Structure 1
Amino acid sequence: MFNLSYLRNKQPFVSLKYKFYVLFVCLFLSPSLWSNENSTPLTINDKKGNWNIQWGYNRSYYTQSDINFRGPGYEYTLKGVDAKDKPESFKADVYLNPSKFEIPQYNLKFSYFFTDRFFLAFGQDHMKYVVTQGQPVKYSGYIDPGVIAKNQMAMSTEAALFTLLFPEHVQEMAGYHGGDQTISLTPDILKYEHTDGLNYLFLDFGWITPLYTSSDGLSGVSLVSTIGGGPVVCRSDVRVLGKGQNNNFHLSGYGVSGYVATRYEFSRTYFLELGGKGGYIDLTDVLTSGGSNRASQNFGFLELVLSGGISI
Protein backbone atom coordinates (compact mmCIF):
# COMPACT_ATOMS: atom_id res chain seq x y z
CA MET A 1 0.00 0.00 0.00
CA PHE A 2 1.28 3.48 -0.81
CA ASN A 3 2.46 5.10 2.44
CA LEU A 4 1.80 8.85 2.55
CA SER A 5 3.20 9.23 6.08
CA TYR A 6 6.54 7.78 4.88
CA LEU A 7 6.78 10.47 2.21
CA ARG A 8 5.92 13.22 4.66
CA ASN A 9 8.61 12.04 7.08
CA LYS A 10 11.30 11.53 4.44
CA GLN A 11 10.66 14.51 2.15
CA PRO A 12 12.13 17.35 4.32
CA PHE A 13 15.40 15.47 4.82
CA VAL A 14 15.71 14.57 1.13
CA SER A 15 14.75 18.08 -0.01
CA LEU A 16 17.47 19.64 2.15
CA LYS A 17 20.08 17.26 0.71
CA TYR A 18 18.82 17.98 -2.82
CA LYS A 19 19.32 21.72 -2.26
CA PHE A 20 22.88 21.08 -1.03
CA TYR A 21 23.55 19.05 -4.17
CA VAL A 22 22.25 21.77 -6.52
CA LEU A 23 24.23 24.42 -4.65
CA PHE A 24 27.42 22.37 -4.92
CA VAL A 25 27.01 21.76 -8.66
CA CYS A 26 26.29 25.43 -9.35
CA LEU A 27 29.32 26.55 -7.38
CA PHE A 28 31.59 23.96 -8.97
CA LEU A 29 30.58 24.91 -12.49
CA SER A 30 30.55 28.68 -11.93
CA PRO A 31 33.45 29.73 -9.66
CA SER A 32 33.81 32.97 -11.61
CA LEU A 33 30.56 34.18 -10.09
CA TRP A 34 32.25 34.25 -6.70
CA SER A 35 35.63 35.74 -7.60
CA ASN A 36 36.96 39.19 -8.38
CA GLU A 37 40.26 41.03 -8.37
CA ASN A 38 39.96 42.01 -4.72
CA SER A 39 38.99 38.60 -3.25
CA THR A 40 40.98 36.12 -5.37
CA PRO A 41 44.08 34.96 -3.43
CA LEU A 42 47.48 35.40 -5.03
CA THR A 43 48.43 31.78 -4.30
CA ILE A 44 46.74 28.65 -3.05
CA ASN A 45 48.22 29.37 0.40
CA ASP A 46 46.30 32.66 0.77
CA LYS A 47 43.13 31.16 2.23
CA LYS A 48 41.92 33.59 4.89
CA GLY A 49 38.24 34.40 4.32
CA ASN A 50 37.73 31.56 1.83
CA TRP A 51 34.99 28.94 1.86
CA ASN A 52 35.64 25.38 0.73
CA ILE A 53 32.74 23.18 -0.39
CA GLN A 54 33.40 19.52 -1.05
CA TRP A 55 31.58 16.33 -1.91
CA GLY A 56 32.80 12.74 -1.89
CA TYR A 57 32.14 9.07 -1.18
CA ASN A 58 33.33 6.69 1.53
CA ARG A 59 33.94 3.10 2.52
CA SER A 60 33.34 2.49 6.21
CA TYR A 61 34.60 -0.10 8.68
CA TYR A 62 33.39 -0.80 12.23
CA THR A 63 34.63 -2.49 15.38
CA GLN A 64 32.60 -5.18 17.09
CA SER A 65 29.77 -3.88 19.26
CA ASP A 66 27.66 -5.07 22.18
CA ILE A 67 24.03 -4.23 21.31
CA ASN A 68 21.50 -3.90 24.14
CA PHE A 69 17.81 -4.41 23.39
CA ARG A 70 15.08 -3.40 25.82
CA GLY A 71 11.33 -3.09 25.94
CA PRO A 72 8.26 -4.38 27.80
CA GLY A 73 9.07 -7.92 28.95
CA TYR A 74 12.69 -8.10 27.87
CA GLU A 75 16.17 -6.69 28.20
CA TYR A 76 19.16 -8.53 26.77
CA THR A 77 22.54 -7.88 25.16
CA LEU A 78 24.11 -9.46 22.08
CA LYS A 79 27.88 -9.44 22.53
CA GLY A 80 30.68 -8.80 20.04
CA VAL A 81 28.42 -8.24 17.04
CA ASP A 82 30.10 -7.76 13.65
CA ALA A 83 28.78 -5.26 11.11
CA LYS A 84 29.86 -3.83 7.76
CA ASP A 85 28.98 -1.00 5.41
CA LYS A 86 26.79 -1.29 2.30
CA PRO A 87 28.36 0.58 -0.64
CA GLU A 88 26.21 1.16 -3.71
CA SER A 89 27.62 -0.32 -6.92
CA PHE A 90 28.25 2.33 -9.55
CA LYS A 91 25.16 3.08 -11.63
CA ALA A 92 24.79 6.23 -13.71
CA ASP A 93 21.11 6.43 -12.73
CA VAL A 94 22.15 6.67 -9.07
CA TYR A 95 25.44 8.59 -8.99
CA LEU A 96 24.47 11.08 -11.72
CA ASN A 97 20.83 11.52 -10.70
CA PRO A 98 20.29 14.47 -8.28
CA SER A 99 17.10 12.90 -6.92
CA LYS A 100 19.00 9.76 -5.82
CA PHE A 101 22.28 11.22 -4.63
CA GLU A 102 21.55 10.27 -1.00
CA ILE A 103 21.64 6.54 -1.84
CA PRO A 104 25.47 6.02 -1.95
CA GLN A 105 27.68 6.48 1.11
CA TYR A 106 28.51 10.16 0.66
CA ASN A 107 30.37 12.97 2.46
CA LEU A 108 29.40 16.65 2.37
CA LYS A 109 31.55 19.35 4.01
CA PHE A 110 31.67 23.16 4.21
CA SER A 111 34.83 24.82 5.57
CA TYR A 112 35.62 28.45 6.43
CA PHE A 113 39.24 29.64 6.79
CA PHE A 114 39.54 32.27 9.50
CA THR A 115 43.31 32.37 8.90
CA ASP A 116 45.46 31.10 6.03
CA ARG A 117 45.97 27.80 7.87
CA PHE A 118 43.11 27.30 10.34
CA PHE A 119 39.43 26.67 9.58
CA LEU A 120 36.10 25.51 10.94
CA ALA A 121 34.18 22.81 9.06
CA PHE A 122 30.70 21.35 9.29
CA GLY A 123 28.89 18.74 7.27
CA GLN A 124 27.53 15.22 7.09
CA ASP A 125 29.06 11.77 6.71
CA HIS A 126 26.39 9.44 5.36
CA MET A 127 27.55 5.96 6.35
CA LYS A 128 25.70 2.66 6.34
CA TYR A 129 25.82 0.00 9.05
CA VAL A 130 24.56 -3.57 8.56
CA VAL A 131 24.82 -6.35 11.13
CA THR A 132 26.17 -9.48 9.42
CA GLN A 133 23.54 -12.20 9.13
CA GLY A 134 24.31 -15.74 10.32
CA GLN A 135 27.13 -14.85 12.73
CA PRO A 136 27.22 -16.63 16.12
CA VAL A 137 27.22 -14.34 19.19
CA LYS A 138 26.95 -14.77 22.93
CA TYR A 139 24.05 -13.12 24.75
CA SER A 140 22.87 -12.32 28.26
CA GLY A 141 19.70 -10.98 29.87
CA TYR A 142 16.02 -11.91 30.08
CA ILE A 143 13.24 -12.41 27.53
CA ASP A 144 9.69 -13.24 28.61
CA PRO A 145 8.43 -16.21 26.55
CA GLY A 146 5.25 -14.19 25.98
CA VAL A 147 7.25 -11.57 24.06
CA ILE A 148 8.42 -14.20 21.58
CA ALA A 149 4.87 -15.53 21.17
CA LYS A 150 3.53 -11.99 20.64
CA ASN A 151 6.20 -11.12 18.09
CA GLN A 152 5.41 -14.27 16.12
CA MET A 153 1.93 -12.83 15.51
CA ALA A 154 3.48 -9.94 13.53
CA MET A 155 6.63 -11.40 12.01
CA SER A 156 8.38 -10.15 8.90
CA THR A 157 8.28 -12.39 5.83
CA GLU A 158 11.92 -13.47 6.07
CA ALA A 159 11.56 -14.22 9.80
CA ALA A 160 8.37 -16.21 9.23
CA LEU A 161 10.03 -18.38 6.59
CA PHE A 162 12.98 -19.15 8.84
CA THR A 163 10.70 -19.90 11.82
CA LEU A 164 8.69 -22.28 9.65
CA LEU A 165 11.85 -24.24 8.83
CA PHE A 166 13.46 -24.01 12.29
CA PRO A 167 10.63 -23.43 14.82
CA GLU A 168 12.74 -24.09 17.94
CA HIS A 169 15.55 -21.65 17.12
CA VAL A 170 13.99 -18.44 18.42
CA GLN A 171 12.65 -20.28 21.48
CA GLU A 172 16.25 -20.63 22.70
CA MET A 173 16.14 -16.92 23.54
CA ALA A 174 13.34 -17.30 26.12
CA GLY A 175 14.14 -16.97 29.83
CA TYR A 176 17.28 -15.87 31.71
CA HIS A 177 20.75 -16.11 30.18
CA GLY A 178 24.06 -15.50 31.90
CA GLY A 179 26.22 -14.78 28.86
CA ASP A 180 27.63 -18.22 28.04
CA GLN A 181 24.94 -19.18 25.51
CA THR A 182 25.51 -18.66 21.79
CA ILE A 183 22.91 -17.89 19.13
CA SER A 184 23.16 -17.39 15.36
CA LEU A 185 21.78 -14.07 14.13
CA THR A 186 19.30 -15.44 11.63
CA PRO A 187 16.19 -13.48 10.49
CA ASP A 188 14.03 -14.84 13.32
CA ILE A 189 16.49 -13.42 15.87
CA LEU A 190 17.65 -10.12 14.42
CA LYS A 191 17.78 -7.83 11.42
CA TYR A 192 19.58 -4.60 12.32
CA GLU A 193 20.62 -1.91 9.84
CA HIS A 194 21.28 1.82 9.74
CA THR A 195 21.27 2.05 5.96
CA ASP A 196 19.45 5.31 5.30
CA GLY A 197 21.57 5.74 7.27
CA LEU A 198 24.18 6.28 9.94
CA ASN A 199 24.29 10.08 9.50
CA TYR A 200 27.14 11.73 11.40
CA LEU A 201 26.63 15.52 11.56
CA PHE A 202 29.92 17.10 12.62
CA LEU A 203 31.51 20.40 13.54
CA ASP A 204 35.31 20.28 13.19
CA PHE A 205 38.29 22.46 13.94
CA GLY A 206 40.97 21.99 11.29
CA TRP A 207 44.30 23.12 9.94
CA ILE A 208 46.13 22.75 6.64
CA THR A 209 49.90 22.25 6.24
CA PRO A 210 51.41 23.04 2.82
CA LEU A 211 53.80 20.31 1.62
CA TYR A 212 54.53 21.56 -1.90
CA THR A 213 53.54 24.70 -3.84
CA SER A 214 54.26 25.24 -7.53
CA SER A 215 56.41 28.22 -8.54
CA ASP A 216 53.38 30.13 -9.86
CA GLY A 217 51.35 29.43 -6.71
CA LEU A 218 48.46 27.96 -8.71
CA SER A 219 48.78 24.35 -7.56
CA GLY A 220 50.23 22.30 -4.73
CA VAL A 221 49.91 19.49 -2.22
CA SER A 222 48.86 19.93 1.42
CA LEU A 223 48.10 17.87 4.51
CA VAL A 224 44.62 18.50 5.98
CA SER A 225 43.80 17.60 9.60
CA THR A 226 40.63 18.03 11.66
CA ILE A 227 39.15 17.03 15.02
CA GLY A 228 35.54 17.37 16.09
CA GLY A 229 32.23 15.75 16.83
CA GLY A 230 28.47 16.04 16.69
CA PRO A 231 25.11 14.28 16.71
CA VAL A 232 24.28 11.07 14.86
CA VAL A 233 20.88 10.76 13.18
CA CYS A 234 19.87 7.21 12.25
CA ARG A 235 17.16 5.74 10.12
CA SER A 236 17.17 2.20 11.47
CA ASP A 237 15.60 -0.83 9.79
CA VAL A 238 15.22 -3.35 12.62
CA ARG A 239 13.49 -6.67 13.34
CA VAL A 240 13.78 -7.89 16.93
CA LEU A 241 12.76 -11.53 17.46
CA GLY A 242 10.98 -11.34 14.10
CA LYS A 243 9.04 -8.12 14.65
CA GLY A 244 10.05 -4.59 13.67
CA GLN A 245 9.96 -1.85 11.07
CA ASN A 246 11.93 0.63 9.01
CA ASN A 247 11.87 3.56 11.42
CA ASN A 248 11.85 7.31 10.79
CA PHE A 249 14.94 9.52 11.08
CA HIS A 250 15.81 9.85 14.75
CA LEU A 251 18.50 11.57 16.84
CA SER A 252 20.15 8.41 18.17
CA GLY A 253 23.46 9.50 19.73
CA TYR A 254 26.71 11.30 19.08
CA GLY A 255 30.18 10.82 17.62
CA VAL A 256 33.71 12.19 17.92
CA SER A 257 36.40 11.86 15.26
CA GLY A 258 39.71 12.87 13.75
CA TYR A 259 40.50 13.23 10.06
CA VAL A 260 43.75 13.32 8.05
CA ALA A 261 43.94 13.76 4.27
CA THR A 262 46.24 14.65 1.42
CA ARG A 263 44.89 17.45 -0.78
CA TYR A 264 45.93 18.37 -4.33
CA GLU A 265 44.89 21.91 -5.32
CA PHE A 266 44.94 23.28 -8.86
CA SER A 267 43.92 26.50 -10.63
CA ARG A 268 43.62 28.20 -7.22
CA THR A 269 40.00 27.04 -7.24
CA TYR A 270 39.58 23.26 -7.37
CA PHE A 271 40.96 20.44 -5.26
CA LEU A 272 40.93 16.67 -4.85
CA GLU A 273 41.30 15.02 -1.45
CA LEU A 274 42.02 11.49 -0.24
CA GLY A 275 41.75 10.92 3.49
CA GLY A 276 40.82 8.77 6.43
CA LYS A 277 38.54 9.53 9.36
CA GLY A 278 38.58 7.52 12.57
CA GLY A 279 36.34 7.93 15.57
CA TYR A 280 33.85 6.68 18.12
CA ILE A 281 30.04 6.59 17.91
CA ASP A 282 27.74 6.10 20.90
CA LEU A 283 24.11 5.35 19.99
CA THR A 284 22.08 5.61 23.17
CA ASP A 285 18.56 5.67 21.72
CA VAL A 286 17.99 3.55 18.60
CA LEU A 287 14.40 2.96 17.47
CA THR A 288 13.60 -0.72 16.93
CA SER A 289 10.17 -2.39 16.79
CA GLY A 290 7.93 0.53 17.75
CA GLY A 291 6.56 1.97 20.97
CA SER A 292 9.07 2.14 23.83
CA ASN A 293 11.27 -0.61 22.36
CA ARG A 294 14.86 0.63 22.01
CA ALA A 295 18.45 -0.48 21.41
CA SER A 296 21.81 1.04 22.31
CA GLN A 297 25.39 0.38 21.23
CA ASN A 298 28.79 2.01 20.79
CA PHE A 299 31.61 1.25 18.37
CA GLY A 300 34.67 2.61 16.66
CA PHE A 301 34.66 3.44 12.97
CA LEU A 302 37.07 4.16 10.14
CA GLU A 303 36.17 5.90 6.89
CA LEU A 304 38.22 6.06 3.71
CA VAL A 305 37.04 9.16 1.83
CA LEU A 306 37.65 10.36 -1.72
CA SER A 307 36.26 13.85 -2.39
CA GLY A 308 36.54 16.86 -4.63
CA GLY A 309 35.76 20.48 -3.98
CA ILE A 310 35.91 24.15 -4.80
CA SER A 311 37.37 27.19 -3.03
CA ILE A 312 35.34 30.42 -3.18
Structure 2
Amino acid sequence: MKKYLIAALLLATALSYSQEVITEENPKLKRNFNDVVHNKGRMFVYWGWNRGSYSKSDITFKGDDYYFTLFDTKARDKPKPFGIYYFKLDEVTIPQTNFRAGYFFHDHYNVALGVDHMKYVMHNNQVVNASGNINTGGVYDGVYNNTPINLEKDFLTFEHTDGLNYVTVEVNRFDTVDNWIGFGVKNIDINLTEGLGFGVLYPKTNTKLLGKERYDEFHVSGYGMSAHVGLDITFFKYFFIQYTFKAGYINMQDIRTTASKSDSASQDFTFLENMWVFGGKFNVATGKNKNKNK
Protein backbone atom coordinates (compact mmCIF):
# COMPACT_ATOMS: atom_id res chain seq x y z
CA MET A 1 0.00 0.00 0.00
CA LYS A 2 2.82 2.40 0.89
CA LYS A 3 4.40 2.23 -2.58
CA TYR A 4 1.10 3.13 -4.24
CA LEU A 5 0.67 6.14 -1.92
CA ILE A 6 4.19 7.34 -2.71
CA ALA A 7 3.61 6.91 -6.45
CA ALA A 8 0.36 8.87 -6.23
CA LEU A 9 2.02 11.71 -4.31
CA LEU A 10 4.89 11.94 -6.78
CA LEU A 11 2.48 12.01 -9.72
CA ALA A 12 0.39 14.71 -8.08
CA THR A 13 3.52 16.74 -7.36
CA ALA A 14 4.57 16.68 -10.98
CA LEU A 15 1.13 17.79 -12.07
CA SER A 16 1.07 20.60 -9.50
CA TYR A 17 3.59 22.58 -11.52
CA SER A 18 1.08 22.91 -14.35
CA GLN A 19 -0.27 26.47 -14.53
CA GLU A 20 -3.53 25.59 -16.23
CA VAL A 21 -4.95 22.21 -15.39
CA ILE A 22 -7.59 21.45 -18.02
CA THR A 23 -9.46 23.16 -20.81
CA GLU A 24 -13.00 23.93 -21.88
CA GLU A 25 -14.11 20.30 -21.68
CA ASN A 26 -13.76 20.48 -17.87
CA PRO A 27 -14.62 24.05 -16.86
CA LYS A 28 -14.85 23.03 -13.22
CA LEU A 29 -11.10 22.32 -13.21
CA LYS A 30 -10.06 25.34 -15.23
CA ARG A 31 -8.81 27.64 -12.42
CA ASN A 32 -5.09 28.35 -12.23
CA PHE A 33 -3.32 27.34 -9.00
CA ASN A 34 -2.06 30.92 -8.70
CA ASP A 35 -5.66 32.07 -8.10
CA VAL A 36 -6.33 29.87 -5.10
CA VAL A 37 -4.49 31.01 -1.95
CA HIS A 38 -2.10 33.91 -1.30
CA ASN A 39 0.57 32.78 1.14
CA LYS A 40 3.25 35.44 0.74
CA GLY A 41 4.08 37.03 4.09
CA ARG A 42 2.78 34.15 6.19
CA MET A 43 4.71 32.08 8.70
CA PHE A 44 4.10 28.52 9.85
CA VAL A 45 5.27 26.14 12.56
CA TYR A 46 4.71 22.43 12.94
CA TRP A 47 5.40 19.55 15.28
CA GLY A 48 4.96 15.83 14.79
CA TRP A 49 6.48 12.38 14.64
CA ASN A 50 8.32 10.11 12.23
CA ARG A 51 9.33 6.56 11.33
CA GLY A 52 12.59 5.96 9.49
CA SER A 53 14.43 3.23 7.64
CA TYR A 54 18.10 3.10 6.67
CA SER A 55 20.27 1.48 4.04
CA LYS A 56 23.13 -0.80 4.98
CA SER A 57 26.27 1.09 5.95
CA ASP A 58 30.04 0.55 6.14
CA ILE A 59 31.24 1.88 9.52
CA THR A 60 34.92 2.64 10.07
CA PHE A 61 36.33 2.88 13.61
CA LYS A 62 39.74 4.36 14.30
CA GLY A 63 41.83 5.00 17.39
CA ASP A 64 45.36 4.76 18.71
CA ASP A 65 45.28 0.95 18.87
CA TYR A 66 42.72 -0.05 16.26
CA TYR A 67 41.54 0.77 12.74
CA PHE A 68 38.87 -1.38 11.15
CA THR A 69 35.74 -1.27 8.99
CA LEU A 70 32.51 -3.21 9.41
CA PHE A 71 30.83 -3.75 6.05
CA ASP A 72 27.12 -3.67 5.23
CA THR A 73 25.89 -3.22 8.79
CA LYS A 74 22.13 -3.12 9.30
CA ALA A 75 20.26 -0.64 11.49
CA ARG A 76 16.70 0.32 12.39
CA ASP A 77 14.84 3.19 14.01
CA LYS A 78 13.58 3.09 17.61
CA PRO A 79 9.99 4.36 17.92
CA LYS A 80 8.39 4.64 21.35
CA PRO A 81 4.90 3.16 21.84
CA PHE A 82 2.26 5.86 21.69
CA GLY A 83 1.67 7.37 25.12
CA ILE A 84 1.07 10.53 27.13
CA TYR A 85 4.74 11.53 26.84
CA TYR A 86 4.05 12.35 23.18
CA PHE A 87 2.33 15.49 24.49
CA LYS A 88 4.01 16.26 27.86
CA LEU A 89 6.32 19.26 27.57
CA ASP A 90 9.10 17.66 29.61
CA GLU A 91 9.02 14.40 27.63
CA VAL A 92 8.12 15.36 24.05
CA THR A 93 11.63 14.58 22.76
CA ILE A 94 11.44 10.93 23.87
CA PRO A 95 9.69 9.80 20.63
CA GLN A 96 11.06 10.36 17.13
CA THR A 97 9.94 13.94 16.47
CA ASN A 98 9.94 16.72 13.89
CA PHE A 99 9.91 20.49 14.40
CA ARG A 100 10.02 23.20 11.76
CA ALA A 101 9.30 26.92 11.37
CA GLY A 102 9.11 28.69 8.02
CA TYR A 103 8.22 31.80 6.08
CA PHE A 104 6.47 32.21 2.71
CA PHE A 105 8.52 34.66 0.64
CA HIS A 106 6.23 33.91 -2.34
CA ASP A 107 2.69 32.58 -2.68
CA HIS A 108 4.12 29.22 -3.74
CA TYR A 109 7.50 29.08 -2.02
CA ASN A 110 8.74 29.09 1.55
CA VAL A 111 12.01 28.64 3.40
CA ALA A 112 12.05 26.69 6.67
CA LEU A 113 14.46 25.78 9.45
CA GLY A 114 13.99 22.77 11.70
CA VAL A 115 15.17 19.42 12.97
CA ASP A 116 14.22 15.82 12.23
CA HIS A 117 14.88 13.96 15.47
CA MET A 118 15.31 10.45 14.09
CA LYS A 119 16.84 7.44 15.85
CA TYR A 120 19.36 4.93 14.51
CA VAL A 121 20.23 1.64 16.19
CA MET A 122 22.79 -0.77 14.76
CA HIS A 123 21.59 -4.37 15.05
CA ASN A 124 23.58 -6.40 17.55
CA ASN A 125 24.23 -10.11 16.93
CA GLN A 126 24.38 -9.66 13.17
CA VAL A 127 27.30 -11.22 11.31
CA VAL A 128 29.22 -8.84 9.04
CA ASN A 129 32.62 -8.83 7.37
CA ALA A 130 35.42 -6.77 8.93
CA SER A 131 38.77 -5.54 7.61
CA GLY A 132 41.56 -3.86 9.57
CA ASN A 133 43.38 -4.47 12.81
CA ILE A 134 42.70 -4.35 16.55
CA ASN A 135 45.47 -4.28 19.15
CA THR A 136 43.87 -3.33 22.47
CA GLY A 137 45.01 -6.33 24.49
CA GLY A 138 41.51 -7.83 24.41
CA VAL A 139 39.85 -10.93 22.99
CA TYR A 140 39.09 -9.20 19.69
CA ASP A 141 42.73 -8.44 18.86
CA GLY A 142 43.88 -9.53 15.45
CA VAL A 143 44.16 -8.72 11.77
CA TYR A 144 40.89 -8.88 9.84
CA ASN A 145 40.72 -9.32 6.08
CA ASN A 146 37.07 -9.36 5.08
CA THR A 147 36.62 -11.67 8.06
CA PRO A 148 33.12 -12.55 9.35
CA ILE A 149 32.47 -11.27 12.87
CA ASN A 150 29.41 -11.39 15.12
CA LEU A 151 28.56 -7.93 16.48
CA GLU A 152 28.07 -8.93 20.10
CA LYS A 153 27.34 -6.24 22.68
CA ASP A 154 30.71 -6.91 24.35
CA PHE A 155 32.34 -5.94 21.05
CA LEU A 156 30.19 -2.96 20.05
CA THR A 157 26.95 -1.10 20.70
CA PHE A 158 26.37 1.79 18.32
CA GLU A 159 23.27 4.01 18.41
CA HIS A 160 22.30 7.55 17.45
CA THR A 161 19.30 7.46 19.76
CA ASP A 162 19.06 10.92 21.26
CA GLY A 163 19.18 11.11 18.40
CA LEU A 164 20.10 11.13 14.72
CA ASN A 165 19.41 14.89 14.70
CA TYR A 166 19.19 16.21 11.14
CA VAL A 167 19.16 20.04 11.37
CA THR A 168 18.14 21.48 8.01
CA VAL A 169 17.23 24.48 5.95
CA GLU A 170 14.56 23.59 3.39
CA VAL A 171 13.11 25.38 0.38
CA ASN A 172 9.59 24.18 -0.41
CA ARG A 173 6.95 24.68 -3.08
CA PHE A 174 3.32 24.82 -1.98
CA ASP A 175 0.19 24.46 -4.17
CA THR A 176 -3.49 24.44 -3.29
CA VAL A 177 -5.17 21.85 -5.53
CA ASP A 178 -8.83 21.91 -4.45
CA ASN A 179 -10.06 22.70 -7.97
CA TRP A 180 -7.80 20.21 -9.67
CA ILE A 181 -9.27 17.34 -7.62
CA GLY A 182 -12.79 18.78 -7.62
CA PHE A 183 -12.82 19.34 -3.85
CA GLY A 184 -15.14 22.07 -2.58
CA VAL A 185 -15.63 21.80 1.19
CA LYS A 186 -15.79 25.18 2.90
CA ASN A 187 -12.90 26.05 5.24
CA ILE A 188 -10.82 23.02 4.20
CA ASP A 189 -7.96 23.35 1.67
CA ILE A 190 -6.02 20.47 0.10
CA ASN A 191 -2.39 21.32 -0.67
CA LEU A 192 0.64 19.62 -2.16
CA THR A 193 4.13 20.51 -0.98
CA GLU A 194 7.54 19.39 -2.14
CA GLY A 195 11.06 20.60 -1.55
CA LEU A 196 14.77 20.14 -0.98
CA GLY A 197 16.78 20.33 2.22
CA PHE A 198 20.41 20.53 3.29
CA GLY A 199 21.87 20.54 6.77
CA VAL A 200 24.16 19.17 9.45
CA LEU A 201 24.00 16.08 11.65
CA TYR A 202 24.15 16.76 15.40
CA PRO A 203 23.73 13.30 16.92
CA LYS A 204 24.03 12.18 20.50
CA THR A 205 25.76 8.88 19.80
CA ASN A 206 25.55 6.11 22.38
CA THR A 207 28.61 3.90 21.85
CA LYS A 208 30.41 1.19 23.78
CA LEU A 209 33.41 -0.10 21.85
CA LEU A 210 35.89 -2.88 22.66
CA GLY A 211 35.27 -2.71 26.39
CA LYS A 212 35.90 1.03 26.62
CA GLU A 213 33.70 3.23 28.80
CA ARG A 214 30.28 4.07 27.32
CA TYR A 215 30.19 7.43 25.50
CA ASP A 216 27.03 9.47 24.87
CA GLU A 217 27.48 13.16 24.00
CA PHE A 218 26.20 15.58 21.36
CA HIS A 219 28.63 16.32 18.53
CA VAL A 220 28.42 17.87 15.05
CA SER A 221 29.33 14.83 12.96
CA GLY A 222 28.61 15.53 9.31
CA TYR A 223 26.07 16.67 6.76
CA GLY A 224 22.92 15.52 4.99
CA MET A 225 20.71 16.34 2.02
CA SER A 226 17.16 15.33 1.23
CA ALA A 227 14.07 15.73 -0.95
CA HIS A 228 10.47 15.37 0.13
CA VAL A 229 6.85 15.45 -1.02
CA GLY A 230 3.80 15.91 1.17
CA LEU A 231 0.03 16.27 1.42
CA ASP A 232 -1.29 19.12 3.58
CA ILE A 233 -4.89 19.63 4.77
CA THR A 234 -5.56 23.12 6.14
CA PHE A 235 -8.59 24.00 8.28
CA PHE A 236 -9.98 27.56 8.54
CA LYS A 237 -6.80 28.91 6.88
CA TYR A 238 -4.76 28.65 10.08
CA PHE A 239 -4.46 25.03 11.22
CA PHE A 240 -3.14 22.05 9.30
CA ILE A 241 -2.15 18.42 9.41
CA GLN A 242 0.43 17.09 6.99
CA TYR A 243 1.93 13.81 5.83
CA THR A 244 5.41 14.00 4.27
CA PHE A 245 7.59 11.35 2.66
CA LYS A 246 11.30 12.21 2.67
CA ALA A 247 14.34 10.52 1.11
CA GLY A 248 17.89 11.57 1.83
CA TYR A 249 21.60 10.95 2.19
CA ILE A 250 23.65 11.28 5.39
CA ASN A 251 27.45 11.44 5.57
CA MET A 252 29.09 11.52 9.02
CA GLN A 253 32.89 11.51 8.99
CA ASP A 254 33.46 12.61 12.60
CA ILE A 255 31.37 10.54 15.02
CA ARG A 256 32.63 10.60 18.61
CA THR A 257 32.83 7.08 20.08
CA THR A 258 34.79 7.44 23.34
CA ALA A 259 35.91 10.18 25.72
CA SER A 260 39.24 10.29 23.83
CA LYS A 261 39.30 12.74 20.93
CA SER A 262 41.60 10.35 19.04
CA ASP A 263 38.76 7.79 18.80
CA SER A 264 36.13 8.30 16.12
CA ALA A 265 33.91 6.58 13.58
CA SER A 266 32.61 7.41 10.11
CA GLN A 267 29.73 6.18 7.99
CA ASP A 268 27.35 7.23 5.24
CA PHE A 269 23.93 5.89 4.29
CA THR A 270 20.60 6.74 2.70
CA PHE A 271 17.34 7.00 4.58
CA LEU A 272 13.58 7.08 4.07
CA GLU A 273 11.35 8.95 6.50
CA ASN A 274 7.59 9.09 6.96
CA MET A 275 6.36 12.14 8.91
CA TRP A 276 2.98 13.03 10.41
CA VAL A 277 2.82 16.59 11.75
CA PHE A 278 0.32 19.26 12.79
CA GLY A 279 0.78 23.01 12.97
CA GLY A 280 -0.44 26.53 12.37
CA LYS A 281 -0.07 29.33 9.83
CA PHE A 282 -0.35 33.04 10.59
CA ASN A 283 0.11 36.38 8.85
CA VAL A 284 3.08 38.60 9.62
CA ALA A 285 2.76 41.10 6.74
CA THR A 286 0.91 44.34 7.42
CA GLY A 287 -0.67 47.15 5.48
CA LYS A 288 -0.78 46.87 1.71
CA ASN A 289 1.26 43.69 1.74
CA LYS A 290 -1.06 41.79 4.06
CA ASN A 291 -2.26 38.59 2.42
CA LYS A 292 -5.85 38.15 1.38
CA ASN A 293 -6.60 34.46 1.60
CA LYS A 294 -9.43 32.97 -0.38
Structure 1 length-normalised TM? 0.75
Give 1:295's match in structure 2, choosing from 265, 272, 280: 265
Equivalent in the alignment of 1:239? 208
| 2:211 pairs with 1:220 | no
Give 1:210's match in structure 2, choosing from 176, 181, 195: 176
Task: Give the number of aligned pairs.
Answer: 244
Give me the CA root mean square deviation.
1.5
Structure-2 separation of matches of 1:86 and 1:148: 34
Give 1:76's match in structure 2, choosing from 62, 68, 72: 68
| Higher share of residues assigned helix | 1
Structure-2 separation of matches of 1:217 and 1:205: 29
Residues 1-60 of structure 1: CA deviation (Å, up to 9, x unaligned):
xxxxxxxxxxxxxxxxxxxxxxxxxxxxxxxxxxxxxxxxxx971111000111110001
Give unmatched runs, 5+ long, in structure 1.
1-42, 150-170
Structure-2 separation of matches of 1:104 and 1:148: 39
| Change beyond 3 A, Cα 1:241–1:44 | farther
SS state of the match for residue 124, structure 2?
coil
Q: Percent identity?
A: 35
Measured after TM superposition, the shift of residue 217 of structure 1 is 6.6
Whether contact under 8 Å (2:109, 2:174) holds in the other structure is yes
| 2:217 pairs with 1:248 | yes
Whether contact under 8 Å (1:253, 1:282) holds in the other structure is yes
Equivalent in the alignment of 1:309? 279
Q: Which amino acid aligns with 2:87?
A: L
Mapping 1:1-312, distance limit 5 Å: 45-92=37-84, 94-144=85-135, 147-149=136-138, 171=139, 173-179=140-146, 181-212=147-178, 218-291=187-260, 292-312=262-282
Q: Which amino acid aligns with 1:301?
A: F
| Change beyond 3 A, Cα 1:44–1:241 | farther
Whether contact under 8 Å (1:75, 1:143) holds in the other structure is yes
Structure-2 separation of matches of 1:244 and 1:286: 16
Runs of 4 or more, structure 1, over 4 Å off, are 213-217
Structure-2 separation of matches of 1:271 and 1:142: 54
Whether contact under 8 Å (2:240, 2:279) holds in the other structure is yes
Bigger drift between 78-87 and 214-223 goes to 214-223
Measured after TM superposition, the shift of residue 290 of structure 1 is 1.8
Structure 2 length-normalised TM? 0.80
Measured after TM superposition, the shift of residue 244 of structure 1 is 3.3
Structure-2 separation of matches of 1:106 and 1:267: 25
